[in-house]
Chains A and B, each alone.
Chain A
């Protein structure tokens, strides 16, 4: 039964992620005085892509063709770890937050390799930048997460969220820092403005798009879907860790339903914030990203230190 709920939750994650992407796009359009596409537009795009015949470069090897599947399943696995509507699910015991970061690394590894496989300048450029940013983002993210896990004394996400829930409303300075750090990292990792712009194909600024330039058809669909999933994943991570209220603690239908509603509401709100931020902020130069990320790292570190000094001092 628990396993079924876990699988159901993962499916839900996968299915809802295009909707979140659509919602963000909708909000942005609204903010920028443009006519917004339908909320379901991302679903349509994905469906369309799966029906198209994929065209693959002559230069491509098996790795290029396999990579989308690997990327997608790694992201799905990461999603299975994160509590969406309920905590204490069995999947979260099979992998903790460090493993989740590992899944992201796995997906990124293959994405970067796929970018290099064709042998174009764009692919290499994208891979190089992606690996640079992610290797700077990873310590910042772990720093933020460690603050959380040390407070909860577990690296199990589900356990950590349950811990925060049980503590009730406690104002922890460390969490404030960690929250901001995680938001900054999430923006960098999911390729949003100001680090990357998912909507542009201007060669000098591309990161994510540069790597997947050669993909088409179902391969592109998988990769797009995976990145939407990743975006949602970070959103859930942020909201559920720092504002876990509403999430189901037992597996009754009612609790689960409330959990779903709560998370949708929280995500919708977060998406609005994201859209506002993306509208207000301009994209940075590539070589200012390290300042941005080291700021995130600094926040994470401050969080950690305030946890050690202010909250758990002996």
Chain B
């Protein structure tokens, strides 16, 4: 039954993709439906009417788009149901599908870990399918055909779900690559922009290399076992060296997808250019699938983990977290910023996973379970709020036709609903208490603070430093999202588009983010619900659950023991409401002190213009000075002079370009190397036939010489 609903989720997403293909087949659809109605319902007039009305030339596109997204939404609902059912039932279901290689049918396994990620994907897909119809409405059919968008969205979701179901290396890779390829087409969807083309190229290239690394990782395991099923791979007995090689390969492969520094570069290129609901899925969910892969590979298939791996994860995670947020801070493009912020969050998750590994390898399974919990919880949270923010960015782009933060401002007035939803997203991602982001970060700190149980002095000093880096990350994230929210929604509009922006008409476009925002708040207040679910996962995977001390009752969150640390979001919420309520009541009781509106104080110079506001780059200027080494900063100020002797400044031009270090340090040398090698290789083909004959001749002689 559970498996059936999981299959339903996959099939429905496929079906939504296929239905989208019918975009140009109105006549066919019409005749098919008329035929079936005549056969099955004996030509029921009402049915016919309904069909005819919806399949009319005029209504058809809208109807079809809605139908496609309804199917996708249903797929999400089924995914949530399946995920919850397996998590609560604590079972493992296996199955086989007769596809794949002749001696290796597709093995399917649905367990707690897959179920949890099913749950995440399901929620995200539900939100996206609420949001989708309104968003895609603005695409022109002849330039951006819905057929390809819908098809690849369906395939993309199906691919992600299949990855979670896979129980053999072959099916896993097929599903994995299906996910990559489908999302590649989605990135390239608006391919008339060169940014889309180069981003999709980079994306697919890195996806390919990552996938190859993963295959080789599986290959290492398969070399020491008989077969490609995960069951067989689990049995493989590896030496420490080979296990570490497998780990490094998996780390590279999954890390590329997840966006770990320095293999993150595709992410800030690809996510911004995709349609927003797709960026939401890519950033919010696809990265989680990569995380799933890493967890499955390291904790499940490799079996025994080594603490050195944990250190690698910890260091890479820290670098990604700090790098991600610092780069995010400097981006003027909203979606690019959000993409970099995903790098940061993935970094945090990797850090905590690394901690979990370290504890696991040092014989503290309980603490490992705690770290695991923090990691998965953060993954869940990130899926919620990043989805929310990307959908919000989509609304903003939809209404203002602008993604440059410096061109916005004051949207809080025109778009009150969106602004509230976006604020919730910003607060969650800045890990403020009462929201879900805080809970996972709190758990991460708690994990890090258990370092005292370790014997290794290096680890004992390394982990607190990582924790402090985590604190810095969180603080920088808060600064970054203050900037985002402040520049976009607050202040005065910096462009006419932003000034004219109004709330979206489509209710669905608000409903999707609202669902996510609600969940952000709900899980922030009642984290126990999700923790309970994750406990089942870690119980299955690590054989250890977190000792959630229930002595204090369900209101409290006490991961290790009540004496060590506890946090009760509901009580905090009540306290906050009381405090705010009291002072609100007290201060507003006097009718004489009703608020008065007046002009903003302009220091007496007269006339505040929007251009006097702090801009995006101005806001981050202190950071730019302090962390100057992190970026490649190209700052140019030029002055137009006029007047006698050219001494009066007429205008000042300021240009700021900020670049990621990884481009000139890693990627450009590689690209140049390949090009120049290709040039060298090209020289063997001279065009002269005598040279070619010489090659054959020489080859022959050399081979003859070699064998005799």
Contact = CB atoms under 8 A, between A and B. Distances in A.
| A–B contact via C-beta, under 8 angstroms | yes
A151 B575 CA distance: 30
B600 A121 contact: no
B contact face: mostly helix, strand, loop, or mixed: helix
Interface in A285-314: 286-287, 290, 297, 300-301, 304-305, 308-309, 312-314
Interface in A208-258: 213-214, 217-218, 221-222
B491 A118 contact: yes
A120 B608 contact: yes
A123 B468 CA distance: 29
Interface in B553-572: 556, 562-568, 571-572
Interface size class of A (residues with CB under 8 A): 35 or more
B342 interface: no
Contacts of A43: none
A54 B479 contact: no
A93 B568 contact: yes
Contacts of A222: 583, 587
A196 interface: no
B622 A127 contact: no
Given A128-B622, A290-B626, A150 B583 contact: no
B563 A159 contact: yes
A73 B490 contact: no
A186 B227 CA distance: 61
A109 B413 CA distance: 20
Contact of B457 (A52, A53, A313): A313
A135 interface: yes
A94 B566 contact: yes
Interface in B588-643: 588, 590, 592-602, 608, 610, 612-614, 618-623, 625-626
Contact of A127 (B423, B467, B614, B621): B614
Contact of A58 (B452, B564, B599): B599
B476 interface: yes
A79 to B, nearest CB: 10
Contacts of B567: 94-96, 99
A232 B598 CA distance: 34
Contacts of B587: 50, 218, 221-222
A25 interface: no
B45 interface: no
A70 B423 CA distance: 14
B620 A128 contact: yes
A121 B600 CA distance: 11
A117 B487 CA distance: 9
A119 interface: yes
B438 to A, nearest CB: 6
Contact of A73 (B478, B576, B614, B618): B576
A129 B623 CA distance: 9
Interface stretch (A141-149, A259-267, A273-281): A141-149
Given A77-B575, A102-B432, A121-B613, A61 B468 contact: no
Given A146-B467, A155-B565, A314-B455, A117 B590 contact: no
Contacts of B491: 59, 116-119, 124
B475 A127 contact: no
Interface string B135-179: 000000000000000000000000000000000000000000000
A309 B460 CA distance: 9
B576 to A, nearest CB: 5
Contact of B600 (A58, A91, A105, A108): A58
A106 B564 contact: no
A96 B565 contact: yes
Contacts of B572: 77, 94-95, 99
Given A105-B430, A132-B479, A155-B449, A287 B490 contact: no
Contacts of A73: 576, 579-580, 583
A119 B593 contact: no
A120 B612 contact: yes
B487 A116 contact: yes
B598 A58 contact: yes
Contacts of A52: 593
B172 to A, nearest CB: 38
A84 to B, nearest CB: 16
A220 to B, nearest CB: 11
A125 B603 CA distance: 15
A272 interface: no
B297 to A, nearest CB: 32
A155 B561 CA distance: 11
A149 B423 CA distance: 33
Contacts of B433: 95, 99, 102-103, 105-106
Given A218-B587, A313-B457, A53 B594 contact: yes
A63 interface: yes
B704 to A, nearest CB: 68
A213 to B, nearest CB: 7
A131 B478 contact: yes
A142 B575 CA distance: 24
Given A109-B478, A118-B491, A143-B468, A93 B552 contact: yes
Contacts of A308: 457, 460-461, 464
Interface in B438-493: 438, 442, 445-446, 449, 451-452, 455, 457, 460-461, 464-465, 467-469, 471-472, 474-476, 478-479, 482-483, 485-487, 489-492
A205 interface: no
A313 B576 CA distance: 42
Given A131-B482, A135-B479, A138-B475, A57 B579 contact: no
B409 interface: yes
Most-contacted residue by chain A among B468, B489, B620 (CB, 10 A): B468
B475 A105 contact: yes
Given A105-B430, A106-B432, A143-B464, A135 B490 contact: no
Contact of B626 (A54, A132, A213, A221): A132
A138 B620 CA distance: 18
B243 interface: no
Contacts of A143: 464, 468, 471
Contact of B596 (A55, A99, A124): A55
A80 interface: yes
Contacts of B705: none
A144 B614 CA distance: 34
Contacts of A72: 579-580, 583
B639 to A, nearest CB: 21
- Going nearest first, the 8 A-B pairs with the smallest beta carbon separation are A124-B614, A116-B486, A119-B491, A135-B475, A73-B579, A131-B479, A138-B475, A132-B622
21 contacts: A53-B592, A56-B598, A94-B572, A96-B566, A98-B446, A99-B442, A105-B478, A106-B432, A109-B427, A113-B486, A117-B490, A118-B600, A120-B601, A128-B483, A128-B622, A132-B623, A150-B464, A155-B446, A156-B565, A221-B587, A287-B626
Interface of B: 409-410, 412-413, 423, 427, 430-434, 438, 442, 445-446, 449, 451-452, 455, 457, 460-461, 464-465, 467-469, 471-472, 474-476, 478-479, 482-483, 485-487, 489-492, 552, 556, 562-568, 571-572, 575-576, 579-580, 583-584, 587-588, 590, 592-602, 608, 610, 612-614, 618-623, 625-626
